[in-house]
Structure 1
Amino acid sequence: MDKQDAGIVEDLSRTGTEPLKDLLERIPSLAGRSCEVSELSGGLTNRNYRVVAGGTDCVVRVFGNEPELPIDRDHEHLNSTAAASTGVGAPVLDYIPDHGMLVVGYIDGVTMSDELIKKPGNLRRVAESCRRLHQGPRFVSEFDMADVQDRYLATVRERGFRLPDRYLENMEAVHRVRDVLAATPVETVPCNNDLLAENFIDDGEQIWIIDYEYAGNNDPCFELGNIWSECHLSVEELEELITAYFGRPSPGKVARAQLQGLMSKYGWTLWASIQQATSSIDFDFWTWGMEKYDTAVGILSSGSRFERLLEDARIAD
């Protein structure tokens, strides 16, 4: 470990975890080697480090401790391995569950942003990468946002955490969305389920998809609607994404993806509420969640626009 890494080690030690230099010694491919380490920005629930040691260039993910929002790290590891087999996910190099670490290959490329995603040609490339992932091996777990939201809501109410104004009153509209989606079931595929722009990396030849904490088999329109939601796409840009993914325009799937995007926003609002109440991370989770909540409520309460979405999502095209 170089001296320049001392600040990283001290910072990690303050979280109550084992010093980083000791953690790296527990990774077979890095043990006993001189490492160059730099902390990567991004993750809210993990600490991520780029580690270069000789011919090894990797990212070490040190898992956070979230008792109220547990993530099955064995599933994350297995789903990451399945994603890697498609050539879209980073190769998995090591998994050290006893010390909360996943090691994947470093992808040398540009981390995407909302602005980059929207540049000409990039939505098509994102759709290609999603399709490759979705055509790969099924994941070991399932993901249904309705179930996730129910679990989060139970936690918030049982623990007395803060709920946005009128959250429960708006659940009537949310249940109408659930009913429409359930009435038109689709075959699930392996999905990342958390595709904010920063989880795409462009190496100049292809767009990679990283971070499989919430991965599971799901409706492909949830994946596409989640991208619409997280990357702040317009409806027209969502139409472009849907057309590129399915190979043809599909008004029904555009509507379904929007409804799934609303489910995503509404569910992650509760994730933010739990994090705001329990996390030691210096981040304004509440404001982050309210942005999603306000956008979702704006559509759920939009009258004719919402009714049209429900109607169009029933179209079998």
Structure 2
Amino acid sequence: MRRALGAPPPTVSGQAMTETAEPAPAVLRGELRDELVRAMQRVPELAGADLTLTALSGGITNRNFLVEVTGRRDRYVIRLAGNDTHLLGISREVEHAATVAAAGVGVGPEVMAFIRPEGYLVTRFIEGSPVPDEVIHRPETIERVAASLRRIHDGPPIPGLFVPLRIVEAYRALALARGVAIPPEYDLAAAIGRRIELACLAIPVEIRPCHNDLLNANFIDDGQRIRIVDWEYAGMGDPFFDLGNFSINHDLTPDEDAVLLAAHDGVAHRADRDARLARLTLMRTVSDFREAMWGVLQQGISTLDVDFVAYAGEHFERLLAGSTTPAFERALREVGG
């Protein structure tokens, strides 16, 4: 799921609808409803049940429907892949495995079924609330997000790799093959990416399970823990990309980044905290590069009425602005030694 920089988050988050949500959408009817209901007859918990489906808002690379069962309180979500999402590096098999792993550590939604060959993912609906921007910046909320991320990063390995600077190269090649003009900012951004990569190679980190798409709409507060949904970009990768991705997506300040990292690390890594904070800073830039090139590739594959040119441009602009600051140069020196 994506939204433009500066746009307000949706009032219905991936799987959590609240009392402040927009009026409920119309019940799904017709051929798609019949197809989904037939598929869910293969799920033991839903076989033979009377099912009502309504669309959940948001989603560019997927569609999500709330599934309610007549006579029961339990609710579920069925998730459908968008067209050509494999070109974005999305594997629905990996997404399924990652969601199972995330559920196992108490962060992701419980997986009820993965319906093959259609690739429909059925999860239990998370009852909770979105985490609005004014709340996400509170130190206690940042600490709760960090605790959930640490559960993921310390969890069992998942299939798939996520290497963002290789992903942007793949996005460029795929966009060119579809006739998309590569923005002139790409070459400078790629040079900045190479500087970051060289610096990070000086102090390699162990790859860990990562979410890699920590937009605000993917967080749900269930009252006890910050839960995370939408695991379609998950894979083994640099946990600092998750931290930087969360930071840049929520416009965290340097002080808030320090809170995030301290809560994520706990008592460990105090001796090298400055270098680790610098790595987080660099990954904010890498996150924007991935996001910009995601917008470029979408220009060649998406049929939605979304201004992906502007979306990519906004992320390139922020990337280039952030990478010309003294703080960025200090971070490079701190990480690269």
Alignment of 1:88-103 (within 5 A): 88-103=107-122
Match in the other structure for 1:45: 61
My pick for the range that moved more, 198-207 or 32-41, is 32-41
Q: 1:275 aligns with which of 288, 298, 310?
A: 298
| Corresponding residue SS for 2:220 | strand
My pick for the range that moved more, 144-153 or 163-172, is 163-172
Alignment of 1:109-148 (within 5 A): 109-148=128-167
* Structure 1 residues not aligned, in runs of 5+: 11-17
Match in the other structure for 2:46: 30
Q: CA RMSD in A?
A: 2.0
The question of whether the paired residues in 2 share the 8 Å contact of 1:123 and 1:241 is answered with yes
The question of whether the paired residues in 2 share the 8 Å contact of 1:228 and 1:261 is answered with yes
Which residue identity lines up with residue 80 of structure 2 in the other structure?
V
Runs ≥4 in structure 1, deviation > 4 angstroms?
4-7
1:314 aligns to 2:336 (yes or no): yes
Counterpart-to-counterpart distance in 2, 1:93 and 1:205? 22
| Corresponding residue SS for 1:170 | helix
The question of whether the paired residues in 2 share the 8 Å contact of 1:73 and 1:97 is answered with no
Structure 1 residues 134, 273: closer, same or farther in 2, change over 3 A? same
Alignment of 1:234-245 (within 5 A): 234-245=253-264
The question of whether the paired residues in 1 share the 8 Å contact of 2:172 and 2:297 is answered with no
1:21 aligns to 2:34 (yes or no): yes
| Corresponding residue SS for 1:121 | helix
| Corresponding residue SS for 1:71 | coil
Counterpart-to-counterpart distance in 1, 2:53 and 2:62? 16
The question of whether the paired residues in 2 share the 8 Å contact of 1:24 and 1:31 is answered with no
Which residue identity lines up with residue 333 of structure 2 in the other structure?
E
Counterpart-to-counterpart distance in 2, 1:263 and 1:232? 15
Which residue identity lines up with residue 335 of structure 2 in the other structure?
A
1:8 aligns to 2:21 (yes or no): no
TM-score, normalising length: structure 2: 0.84
My pick for the range that moved more, 64-73 or 138-147, is 64-73
Match in the other structure for 1:68: 87
My pick for the range that moved more, 293-302 or 154-163, is 154-163
Cα deviation for residue 209 of structure 1 reads 1.2
Which residue identity lines up with residue 23 of structure 1 in the other structure?
L
Give aligned-pair identity as a percent.
Answer: 36
The question of whether the paired residues in 1 share the 8 Å contact of 2:27 and 2:52 is answered with no
The question of whether the paired residues in 2 share the 8 Å contact of 1:5 and 1:37 is answered with no
Structure 1 residues 5, 164: closer, same or farther in 2, change over 3 A? closer
Cα deviation for residue 70 of structure 1 reads 4.8
Cα deviation for residue 69 of structure 1 reads 2.6
Cα deviation for residue 5 of structure 1 reads 8.0
